[in-house]
Amino acid sequence: MPPAQDQAMPTPDSNIVPEKIRDGIDVVINGEPFRHTGDPAMPLLWYLRDVLRLTGTKYGGDAQAGNGADLVLVDGKPVPAIGQPMKALSGKRITTVEGLAANDGTLHPLQQAFIDEDAIGCGYCTPGWLISGVALLTRTAQPSDDDIDRLPNLCRCGSQTRVRRAIKRAAAGKAGQA
Amino acid sequence: MSGQIQLSRRRFLQVLTGTAGALIVGIRTAGAVDLPPALLGGTFQALGPYVQIDSDGNVLIGARDPDTGTGVATSLPRIIADELDADWNRVSVIPLGLGVQNDQGQPRWIYGRQLGGTGGSIPAAWQELRQVGALARWLLLQAAARRLGVPADRLRCESGTVIAPDGRRVTYGSLVEVAGKIPLSKSAPPVKTPNRYTLIGAPAGDVDAHAIVTGQASYAIDHHYGDALVAVLVHCPWPDGTLARIDTAATLAVKGVVKVLQLQPEKDQPLGETAIAPAVAVLAQDTWSALQGRDKLELEWKPGASGTQSSYALEQQAQALLDGDDAPTTRVRNDGDVDAAGKKAARRLEATYVQPWLAHATAEPMNCLVRLDKDRASLVVPTQAPQRAWAVVQRLTGLAPDHIDIRVPRVGGGYGRRLDHDYVAEAVMLAKLIDKPVRLLWTRDQDFGHDFYRAASVHRISAIVGRKRELIGWNQRMASASALVQRGVPDNRLWTSETRADQLPAGLVPNYRSDWYGLESAMPRGPMRGMPHLSNAFAVESFIDEIAHMMREDPLKTRLRLLGEPRTLALAGGGTLDLGRLANVLKLVADRIEWKNWLRSVNGLGIACWHVDGAYVAHAIEASMQGEKLTIERAVCAVDVGRVINPLGLQGQVAGATLDALSIALNLAVTYKDGQVQQHDYKSYPLASMAQLPNDVEVITVPGDRSPAGASFLAMPTAAPALANAVFRASAVRVRRLPLMKELLRLL
C-alpha cells in the first residue's frame, strides 16, 4: 500500500513537458558553470563574445594567436581564446578579464596597478595584458625584466613601459598606494 | 528658465534648467533646436559640450571628441571641471556621439568640431570649453551670494563647494536650482588666471581606466542589435581588380550562414568614402558561422592594371627620378641660391634615405554596426571623424541630416585609419541589400591587405658646408606617392601630405631648397599618425648627424649652432618657430642622458629634435650592440607643448608615441608584389615585442603658459633618428633604410 500522503497530494495534471537535458560541453567561466550546446568546434572567443556577451575579451582579427587582446586563463594558463575550440575545454576553468576582480568588486592588485600607472593606451589590448600579467605574477611572485619581456602581447599605442611598471608595482605589493 | 550669452556670431553660451532642477551650461550654435529634456533623460541634445550639475552634487560633463587612446575624454572635461572648481571625484564623463541637426537639408554641427587623434582636440577646445565651466561657476557664486548674504566677490569656490569668509560652506548641489534662475550679464564671465588652476596641470588617470581593466568598457565592436547579421569580407587583392568566378555552395551550406553578397566601390567617390576594393561578404547569424562560411568561399579574382606593380619597382623609379635632372613636381621652398652656394663649398655631403610603406594596424579591427529603419539610420562606429562618417551614411541613404544617429564609444586605436570610412560605406551598403541590421567585422588579413597605407619615400639630401663649419646650403629632394591623390585635393597641393615647407632646417640655412617628386601607385594611401613629420625627421635628423660626423664634431654642438641664438621665425603655415624652446628640449634630453659621455660611452648615444605646429620635441637614446643584438638601454624624451592640461596623460602620450615610433623604425614595412600586399598578420608585420623596446621612457615635460598645443603624435618624429644615430655610435653602421633591424643585420 502506498504511503497515505501520496493519496492526499496527487501529482497535479500538467501538459508541461520538462525539456530534455541537452548534451553539451560544460565549462566554468569566472566561477559560474555554463553548458555550450552549439558547434563543438566554435572557438571560446565567440562563445564568450557572441553567446555569453562577455565582451571584455577582445577580437584581434586573427584566426590564431594575434595581438593577445583575446587572452584568457584556462586552468590558470594564458591562451588565446580564438585558438581554443569549445570541445577542448570540457570541464576546464576559464577566467576572463571580467573575472579577475573579487566578487565584491575589489580589483586584482594588477588591475589596480594598471590604474595607478595609467597603463592604458586605447585600452583595447589591455584585457590581454592583464591576463598574461596575472598569469606571470601567479607563476613568479617577483618577475624580472626578462620575465616581463616574454609576455606575448602587442600594443601599438605604446603602453608597454607603463605595463612593466604596473606589473612591478603589483609585485611589490604597492597597488593602490601613492 | 534659460538664457544665453553670445560668444561669436554663431556660438552662444547657454544656460538651461534640467530635470530635478539641475543646472546645465553648454555651448550652442545659432539656430539649434532644444529637444524636450524628459525624452532624453535630462540631457539636452541641442547643447554642445556641456556641464550638468545635479541637485545631489554630481557633475556630468560631455566629451565631444572621439577618444582613440589620446586621453581627450579625460583632458577636455578637466578643462571644464577646473573652471567650475568641481570635485573631480564626482564628475562623470559621457561621450556625446555626433551632434547634428537639420538646417534646411544641410547638417548643422551643434557640438562644433568633433575630431580625434589629429593633435587638434586640446588647442580647439581650450578657449570655449573653459568658458562653459566659468559661466557655471559664476552662476553658482551668484546663487551662493544670495543665500549667504555675502557679495559674490568675497566668496571662493573649492571642490564643489562655495566658501564664505566666515567659513560657512554651501555645496553646489544645493545651489543649482537658484543658479539656473540668475539673470545673465551681457558678456561671458572671465576665465581663471592660471595661478588658480587646480585640475589643469595636475595629473589625472584615464576616466575609463576602471571600466577598461574590468572588461566593462565597450567599444563599437562590442555593440549589438539582437537581429543584426554578422558580415565578414574578402576583398579583391587589387583595388582595380574584378571577380572572375565565385562558388558559394559550400559557404551557404554552413549552418548559420544567411547570404553571400557582392560589393563594388562606387565610381567617382573619393578614396575612403566607399568600399576600398570589390568584395564578397558572408552574412550569418553569428561570427563563427560567418568566418567558417568565409573560409569555404571559392573565389577567383582577376587583376586590373595594378597587378604588375611592386614596392621594389616603385623604389627603383624613385631612385631613378632623383638620379636624373627632371624638374620636381613641386618646388616646396627655395631660399637663396643653392646652386651658387655650391661653388663656395669647403665640404659637401650627400645621402639617400629610404623608408617603407606602413600599415595602421589598429588593435580594434574595422567594424561598424548599422540599423536602417524606414526614415532613420542608427550606427555605432569606431571613428575619429563622426561628421565624415555621417556624410558617407547620408549619401548612401539620402536621409534627413538629423535622422542619422551616430554613436562613438571609445575607439580601439585610430592613427589616421579611422579618418576614412570605407568600412562604414560597406556596412550601410550591406544593410541596404539585405534589409536587416548589419554588424560588419573585418578580419586581420583584410586589415593588413586593404589599408590606406603610408607611402614609401626616398629622400636625397645634400649639404654644403662653409669654411667655418657653417651650413651654407641644403638641397633636399623627396620622392613619394602623395596620400592626397583621389581625395579632391588640387595637384599643386599634393605635396602637403609628404613634407613641410617650414620643417628643420628651413629658415636656418641661407640657401635652402626642398623639392618634391610625386610618384604614382595604385596602392591606396591615406592619413597616418605622424605624417609627414615621421619620414622627414628621420631623413633630416639622421643627415645632420652625418654632417657632424663629417666635420668631426659633437652632433649636439652642430645642432645647437644650427639653431643659433634664441629667436622666433615665422612659419610658412602660420604661427612661429621658437628656436629657444627647441634648443631647450634638446639640452634637456642631453643633460638627462649625460651627453657629456657621448664620445667615450661604450654604448651609443643618439639625439634628435623637431617641431610640430608650435610644439617642440627631442629624443636622446642610448643603445648597445652585442654581436647582432641591439638593445635600447635608455630612451629620454622632452616635450614643450605650452600649457599642460594633464601631465600624466601627456607622459603617457609621449611614452606611447616613442614606443610606437621605435616599433615602426625597428621592424615594420609593408611590401607588395604583383600588386598584392605581402603582409597578412602580426607575424609578417611584427609590432615590436616588449624585449625590443626600452624598459622605460624617461619623459620630461617643460612647464609653460602658452595656449596648449596638441601632443598625440608629437613624440614620434625624433625617436627613429635618435635611435639610428645611437646605433651609428654603437656599431659604426649608418642605417639609411628602414626598417632598421633588417638593414642593420644586412650591413653588419
- Which three-class secondary structure string do you get for B442-510? CCHHHHHHCCCEECCEEEEEEEEECCCCCEEEEEEEEEECCCCCCCCCCHHHHHHHCCCCCCCCCCCCC
B708 Cβ neighbours under 8 A, 6+ residues apart:
B122, B123, B126, B641, B642, B643, B644, B645
Percent of chain B topping pLDDT 90: 83
Residues 369-408 of B with CB under 8 A from A: none
Per-range mean pLDDT, top range of A78-92, B57-71, B592-606: A78-92
Which phi-psi region, left, alpha or beta, contains residue B71 (left: φ > 0; alpha: ψ -120 to 50)? left
pLDDT at B48 over 90: no
CA–CA separation, B614 vs B708, rounded Å? 9
Which of B391, B415, B441 is the last residue in one of the domains?
Answer: B441
Domain membership of residue B447 (yes or no) is no
Better pLDDT: A178 or B605 = B605
CA–CA separation, B373 vs B391, rounded Å? 18
Across B245-268, average pLDDT: 97
Task: Please state, rounded to an integer, the average pLDDT across all residues of chain B.
Answer: 93
Domain membership of residue B152 (yes or no) is yes
pLDDT at A52 over 60: yes
Does residue B595 share a domain with residue B529?
A: yes
Amino acid at B540: V
Phi, psi of B309 (to 5 degrees): -80, 150
Across A26-52, average pLDDT: 97
What pLDDT, on a 0 to 100 scale, did the predictor assign at position B39? 40
Q: Burial letters for A99-137: b for 16+ Cβ neighbours within 10 Å, e otherwise? A: bbbeeeeebbbbbbbbbbbbbbbbbbbbbbbbbbbbbbb
Q: Which of A153, A11, A167 is nearest to A69 (CA)?
A: A153
Give bridge partners of residue B607 from the DSSP assignment. Answer: B620
Does residue B326 share a domain with residue B298?
A: no
Picking from A126, A148, A156, the nearest residue to B213 by CB comes out as: A126
Domain membership of residue B446 (yes or no) is no
CA angle centred on B526, ends B523 and B531, rounded to 5°: 120
Which segment of A127-141, A147-161, B45-59 scores lowest on mean pLDDT? B45-59
Across B637-665, average pLDDT: 96
Three-state DSSP class for B234?
strand
What pLDDT, on a 0 to 100 scale, did the predictor assign at position B34? 55
A82 Cβ neighbours under 8 A, 6+ residues apart:
A43, A44, A45, A59, A60, A62, A63, A64, A65, A66, A70
Neighbours of B599 (CB within 10 A): 9
Report the run of H or E that residue B292 belongs to, with start and end. helix B287-295
Q: What is the CATH number of the domain that holds B431?
A: 3.30.365.10
Q: Do the chains contact at A120 and B694, CB–CB below 8 Å? A: no
Domain membership of residue B169 (yes or no) is yes
**With bands split at pLDDT 50, 70 and 90, how would you rate the model's confidence at B364?**
very high
Helices (H), B593-737: 647-667, 719-731
HSE-up of residue B720 (Cα within 13 Å, Cβ side): 32
What pLDDT, on a 0 to 100 scale, did the predictor assign at position B96? 85
Domain membership of residue B514 (yes or no) is yes
Which of A82, A160, A165 to substitute to test the interface with B, most B CBs within 10 Å?
A: A160
Does residue B573 share a domain with residue B530?
A: yes
pLDDT at A151 over 70: yes
pLDDT at A14 over 90: no
Across B174-180, average pLDDT: 93
**pLDDT tens, residue by residue, B553-566:** 999 999 999 999 99
Three-state DSSP class for B731?
helix
Task: Yes or no: say if B219 and B265 are a contact pair by the CB < 8 Å rule.
Answer: no
Does residue B618 share a domain with residue B560?
A: yes
Give bridge partners of residue B355 from the DSSP assignment. Answer: B457
Residue of B nearest to A157 (CA): B656
Phi, psi of B663 (to 5 degrees): -60, -45
Across B146-172, average pLDDT: 96
CA–CA separation, B34 vs B223, rounded Å? 28
CA angle centred on B16, ends B14 and B22, rounded to 5°: 135
Does residue B605 share a domain with residue B487?
A: yes
Q: Do the chains contact at A58 and B681, CB–CB below 8 Å? A: no
CA–CA separation, B341 vs A67, rounded Å? 52
Chain B neighbors of A61, CB-CB under 8 A:
365, 442-445, 447
Q: Provide DSSP, B646-677.
A: -HHHHHHHHHHHHHHHHHHHHH--B-EETTEE
Residue A61 to chain B, least CA–CA distance (Å): 4
**With bands split at pLDDT 50, 70 and 90, how would you rate the model's confidence at A5?**
low
Better pLDDT: B260 or B96 = B260
Picking from A50, A148, A165, the nearest residue to B286 by CB comes out as: A50
What pLDDT, on a 0 to 100 scale, did the predictor assign at position A8? 66
Residue B508 to chain A, least CA–CA distance (Å): 33
**With bands split at pLDDT 50, 70 and 90, how would you rate the model's confidence at A6?**
low
Does residue B435 share a domain with residue B315?
A: no
Which segment of B2-16, B188-202, B445-459 scores lowest on mean pLDDT? B2-16
Count Cβ–Cβ pairs < 8 Å, chain A vs chain B. 177
A49 Cβ neighbours under 8 A, 6+ residues apart:
A55, A57, A59, B222, B287
- Measured over the CA atoms of residue B681, residue B683, residue B686 and residue B690, the dihedral's sign is positive
Burial tier of B119 (Cβ tally within 10 Å: 0-12, 13-18, 19+): buried
Does residue B472 share a domain with residue B404?
A: no
Domains and CATH numbers, chain A: 25-99 (3.10.20.30), 109-171 (1.10.150.120)
pTM for the full predicted model: 0.95
CA–CA separation, A133 vs A116, rounded Å? 15
Q: Do the chains contact at A156 and B660, CB–CB below 8 Å? A: yes
Q: Do the chains contact at A55 and B222, CB–CB below 8 Å? A: yes
| DSSP at A61 | S
Which of B213, B232, B253 is the last residue in one of the domains?
Answer: B213
Burial tier of B389 (Cβ tally within 10 Å: 0-12, 13-18, 19+): buried
CA-to-CA dists, residue A121 to A82, B177, B442, B735, angstroms? 23, 39, 22, 30
pLDDT at A4 over 70: no
Cα B136 versus chain centre, distance: 31
Q: Which of A156, A54, A145, A113 is nearest to B667 (CA)?
A: A156
Task: Yes or no: say if B652 and B204 are a contact pair by the CB < 8 Å rule.
Answer: no
Give bridge partners of residue B735 from the DSSP assignment. Answer: none
pLDDT at B41 over 80: no
Q: Note whether ipTM > 0.90 here.
A: yes
How many distinct structural domains can be found in chain B?
3
Name the grid cell of A80. Answer: 588565446
Q: Hey, is the C-beta of B202 within 8 angstroms of any chain A C-beta?
A: no
Does residue B284 share a domain with residue B245?
A: yes
Domain membership of residue B117 (yes or no) is yes
Burial tier of B395 (Cβ tally within 10 Å: 0-12, 13-18, 19+): middle
pLDDT at B24 over 90: no
Residues 40-69 of B with CB under 8 A from A: 67-69
Chain A neighbors of B217, CB-CB under 8 A:
123
Which of B213, B242, B258 is the last residue in one of the domains?
Answer: B213
What pLDDT, on a 0 to 100 scale, did the predictor assign at position B300? 98
B290 Cβ neighbours under 8 A, 6+ residues apart:
B230, B231, B232, B256, B257, B282, B283, B284, B441
Does residue B663 share a domain with residue B712?
A: yes
Name the grid cell of B429. Answer: 551598403
Residue A12 to chain B, least CA–CA distance (Å): 38
Amino acid at B450: H
Task: Please state, rounded to an integer, the average pLDDT across all residues of chain A.
Answer: 93
Q: Do the chains contact at A100 and B214, CB–CB below 8 Å? A: yes
Residue of A nearest to B439 (CA): A50
Task: Yes or no: say if B395 and B427 are a contact pair by the CB < 8 Å rule.
Answer: no
DSSP strand pairing (B106-109 vs B100-103): antiparallel
Across B594-605, average pLDDT: 92
Report the run of H or E that residue B17 belongs to, with start and end. strand B11-17
Residues 407-436 of B with CB under 8 A from A: 410-415
pLDDT at B1 over 90: no
pLDDT at B27 over 90: no
Chain B neighbors of A69, CB-CB under 8 A:
363
| Rg for chain B, CA atoms, rounded | 28
CA–CA separation, B637 vs B617, rounded Å? 7
Q: Do the chains contact at B286 and A58, CB–CB below 8 Å? A: no
What pLDDT, on a 0 to 100 scale, did the predictor assign at position B42? 45
B125 Cβ neighbours under 8 A, 6+ residues apart:
B49, B65, B76, B79
What pLDDT, on a 0 to 100 scale, did the predictor assign at position B687? 97
Q: Do the chains contact at A120 and B691, CB–CB below 8 Å? A: no
Phi, psi of B384 (to 5 degrees): -90, -15
Task: Yes or no: say if B661 and B717 are a contact pair by the CB < 8 Å rule.
Answer: yes
Does residue B405 share a domain with residue B345?
A: no
Domain membership of residue B398 (yes or no) is yes
B393 Cβ neighbours under 8 A, 6+ residues apart:
B370, B377, B379, B399, B404, B406, B424, B428
Percent of chain B topping pLDDT 70: 97
Domain membership of residue B572 (yes or no) is yes
Picking from B215, B216, B660, the nearest residue to A158 by CB comes out as: B660
| DSSP at B520 | -
Does residue B528 share a domain with residue B464?
A: yes
Residue B652 to chain A, least CA–CA distance (Å): 8
CA-to-CA dists, residue B470 to B555, B666, B721, angstroms? 13, 33, 22
Phi, psi of B91 (to 5 degrees): -95, 130
**With bands split at pLDDT 50, 70 and 90, how would you rate the model's confidence at B457?**
very high
- Domain hosting B108: range is 2-213
Does residue B399 share a domain with residue B318?
A: no
Residue B115 to chain A, least CA–CA distance (Å): 16
What are the CB-based long-range contacts (under 8 Å, 24+) for B284-287? Answer: B284/B229, B284/B230, B284/B232, B284/B254, B284/B256, B284/B257, B284/B258, B285/B229, B285/B230, B285/B256, B285/B258, B286/A46, B286/A50, B286/A51, B286/B230, B286/B256, B287/A46, B287/A49, B287/A50, B287/A59, B287/B230, B287/B232, B287/B441
Task: Yes or no: say if B218 and A56 are a contact pair by the CB < 8 Å rule.
Answer: no
